[in-house]
Structure 1
Amino acid sequence: MSNNLFHFGMIGLGTMGRNLLLNLADHGYSVIGFDKDEQKGAALLNESTPQHKVKAVSSLQEMVQQIEQPRKIMMLVPAGKPVDDVIESLLPLLQPGDIVIDGGNSFFEDTLRRTTYMQSKQMHFVGMGVSGGEKGARFGPSIMPGGDVAAWKNLQPLLEAVAAKVNGEPCVAYMGKDAAGHYVKMVHNGIEYAIMQLISEVYDVLRTGLSLSNAEMHQVFAKWNEGELKSFLIEISAQIFLQKDPETGKDLVDVILDKAGSKGTGKWTSQEAMNLPISIPTIDIAVAFRDISVYKEERIAAEALYQPERKKITADKAAFIEQLGHALQAAIMICYAQGLAMLHKASSVYNMDIPLKDVVKIWRGGCIIRSLLLEDFYTAYQNNADLANILLDQQLAKLLQLKETALRNVIVQAVQSKIAVTGLMSALGYLDAYTDGNMPVNLIQAQRDLFGAHTYQRIDKPGTFHTQWD
């Protein structure tokens, strides 16, 4: 710390902001934080150690004055207007060349606007995704910065120090130009939605179709996490089945209401995919099923009206559970493929130059969607950095073909048992459509031309055509 100035400042000392500062302090950086709520500042100081160089202040001006130039100041505040409000409060206190980082889940178009605005003020602005939750922030998250290259170079040593490490490599890399950091984080969250949906469907097949107890489901997920399905979300699912409710003594998962919340990033991913356009049906389904879960009273009424008979799956239990694991892995591969294909398309459309090899590399550790599968994706992108869809990689295609039959069989059994596995079905449908060189949409084009003169192309000669239909 030169002249008693601090290396890094944080605006917003909630759980994530506080833990990131403590992580930086662990790595020898002097840090200062600001929050309007003085109790959050006190919590930062209480959680620090005598070896940390940490300070909390209740004045933005006081914080800015104590940071070395060029200043590195990060915001972790709610997306939307709060971010703009903080920027306006900061600007009179900053000098040209200072770096402002938005580490929240901001919509990428807002980040684009803010980047341009800050450039006009001669400031650097970095939209940065951070994944890993509170534990990741404290001990090593996956970090997705984008935008200003000069700012990235300045921040790189600091971010590499605090990021999660896989094989000694930090889980942080430059994600591309403009709003690439927040765009990559948005798609990351969409994939996260999809994997969680797939896991919940498999849980329902185990619970409803096979009548497994929570203890037995813990064993299934724990075993899966020792093999090809090893990932953070499988690991925590196994853990959840063991948790007891301190109030009732029941398994906690059984007393949690079946209404899923969301903060909007999954919805943004679906909406943006339609704008590109690119097909991400498994992510779309994950968003849609969180929405339908909210209508609990209607679902209860509909269940009483239709009285669906949830039939038990009579297949050999051990063999079927093994199939279920293969089916889940296949579907997870396909939902990753959808998200990564979206990033490939967006990188081209928005000229962001997103390095997909680095994206999957930094997702291998620290983040919520970290998975053993990402090692295979990393190899695929090392072989072809401009791979439009990971399903086009020969080795991944071989792996998926080994799992495909299991995915089909599981879906058939679940459908016959009236268990909703729409995420699994959407993944299989995507695979079947993507591997179909002759889709039936020629009929759709004929219909469009007949009722609306929308024209069509032909298979035997170039050009655009219209028919006067009889």
Structure 2
Amino acid sequence: MSDQTAHPEQHGNDPVRHLGLVGLGKMGGNMRTRLREAGLEVTGYAPDPTTTDVETLEDLVAALPRPRTVWVMVPSGDPTRQTVERLGQLLEPGDLVIEGGNSRWTDDREHAAHLAERGVRYVDCGVSGGIWGVTEGYGLMAGGDPADIERALPVFDALRPEGPREEGFSHAGPVGAGHYAKMVHNGIEYAVMQAFAEGYELLDKTDVVDDVATVFAGWRRGTVVRSWLLDLLVRALEEDPGLTTVSGYAEDSGEGRWTVIEGIENAVATPTIAASLYARFVSRQEESPAMKAIAALRNQFGGHTVRSTRPGSAEQVAESAREGAAAEGEPTGPA
């Protein structure tokens, strides 16, 4: 293990010059690269021996000058919780933890309270940019004490896109505000993606439009819907016209759900975001129980044909329902 005394000390409010980074996956690994290219010293830790700079979390802490700053970039939930708890045991008063994963904002308050018992500072930071952040920069939304934000500005400036700071970085408020802002950002992202997806399906299905990919590409400049998400959709269509190699199964990582819940808690209607979230739920069903119930009900009250799971039996089911409805004097019209 490294000797902590071999490193020069920093004063508590000095800007960070050497960062510890826990988690070197697709996002964390790219962030390490961008930080180093900006001239910051980074010591990274991950269980994968092919990517880590040190063997243990203890080694990471020992490699950093006091007061230490450690950025946590691991999956939300238990992995983040366990990492923060372990850092609470290893770090000292005046050290700072920045949590940059997709944690729920309420978790941040728990993390901050836990670390405060040992005098360790805490900042939460929502990070947007995905795999492109290493070259394009990351959109950052931070929550925490102004002094802690000021201390970490060299890190934020290295990660954010080039240009005015306020266009790629925001200090959203106290602890929890960063992840709250990122949660709402992702809820909006869900809705925008769903709108593009529905437009794509309609254009693809009609025989009026010959080249859907060209239409989307033509929207990239001069239109009110131009955006990076549109650019990425055009790229996807260029790589795979018709999206024939992609399954229609779409996961959600939690932020959309939390946004809808927050809307309910605050009596704010979020119908577009909610609909986009529900569309993802539907995408995971090979057979929808809800739609089966609707088909059965239409058959019962209107005698409408049902596509039975038994081959060749659909018309028999429909005819039986019609006879029953006629005998009871029920309407058999469309619905």
Q: Please report the TM-score for the alignment, with normalisation by the length of structure 1.
A: 0.57
Aligned residue for 1:320?
none
Two-structure CA RMSD over aligned residues (Å): 2.4
Higher RCO structure, 1 or 2 (CA under 8 Å, sep 6+): 1
Note the C-alpha offset of 1:252. Answer: 6.0
Residues 12 and 76 in structure 1, CA contact (< 8 A), matched pair in contact too: yes
One of 23, 45, 51 as aligned partner of 1:12: 23
- Partner SS for 1:40: coil
Deviations 1:327-376 (A, max 9, x none): xxxxxxxxxxxxxxxxxxxxxxxxxxxxxxxxxxxxxxxxxxxxxxxxxx
Q: Secondary structure at the match of 2:239?
A: coil
Instruction: Give the superposition deviation at 1:101.
Output: 1.0
2:227 corresponding residue in structure 1: 231
Q: Does 295-304 or 284-293 show the bigger shift?
A: 295-304
Q: Percent identity?
A: 32
Instruction: Say which SS state the counterpart of residue 170 (structure 2) adopts.
Output: coil
Q: 1:295 to 1:183 in 2, by over 3 A?
A: same
Identify the residue that residue 260 of structure 2 maps to in structure 1. 270
- Whichever structure has more helix as a proportion of its residues is 1
What aligned pairs does 1:360-379 form with structure 2 within 5 A after superposition? none
Specify the alignment match of 2:216 in structure 1.
Answer: 221
- The match for 2:48 is 37
Residues 127, 182 of structure 2: 8 Å contact kept: yes
- Answer yes or no: is the 8 Å Cα contact 1:143–1:172 preserved in 2: yes
Q: Deviations over 1:409-457 (max 9, x none)?
A: xxxxxxxxxxxxxxxxxxxxxxxxxxxxxxxxxxxxxxxxxxxxxxxxx
| SS of equivalent residue, structure 2 residue 141 | strand
> Which runs of structure 2 are paired with 1:313-328 in the superposition (5 Å)?
none
Distance 1:218 1:252, change over 3 A: closer
- Is the aligned partner of 1:293 residue 2:293? no
Kindly indicate whether the alpha-carbon contact (under 8 Å) linking 1:139 and 1:162 is maintained by their aligned counterparts in 2: no
The unaligned stretches of length 5 or more in structure 1 are 42-55, 245-250, 308-470
Change (3 A) 1:211 1:261: farther
Deviation, structure 1 residue 121: 1.9
Distance 1:80 1:146, change over 3 A: same
**Could you say which residue in structure 2 is the equivalent of 1:179?**
176
Larger radius of gyration: 2
Shift in CA distance, 158/16, structure 1 to aligned 2, threshold 3 Å? same
Which of 150, 157, 182 aligns to 2:147? It is 150
Task: Give deviations 1:273-305, integer Å, cap 9, x for gaps.
Answer: 101121111001100111112112339978994
Aligned residues: 284
Unmatched 5+ residue regions in structure 2?
9-16, 296-304, 309-335
1:131–1:142 CA contact under 8 A, matched in 2: yes
Deviation at 1:69, TM superposition (A): 1.9
State which drifts further: 73-82 or 131-140.
Answer: 131-140
Q: Distance in 2 between matches of 1:211 and 1:291?
A: 31
Cα distance change of structure 1 residues 243 and 173 upon mapping to structure 2, 3 Å threshold: same
- 1:276 alignment partner AA: N
Matched, 1:193 2:204: no
Matched-pair contact (CA < 8 Å) for 2:21–2:28: yes
In structure 2, relative to structure 1, the CA distance for the partners of 1:97 and 1:242 (3 Å cut) is same
Does residue 1:22 correspond to 2:33, yes or no? yes
For 1:258, the equivalent position in structure 2 comes to: 248
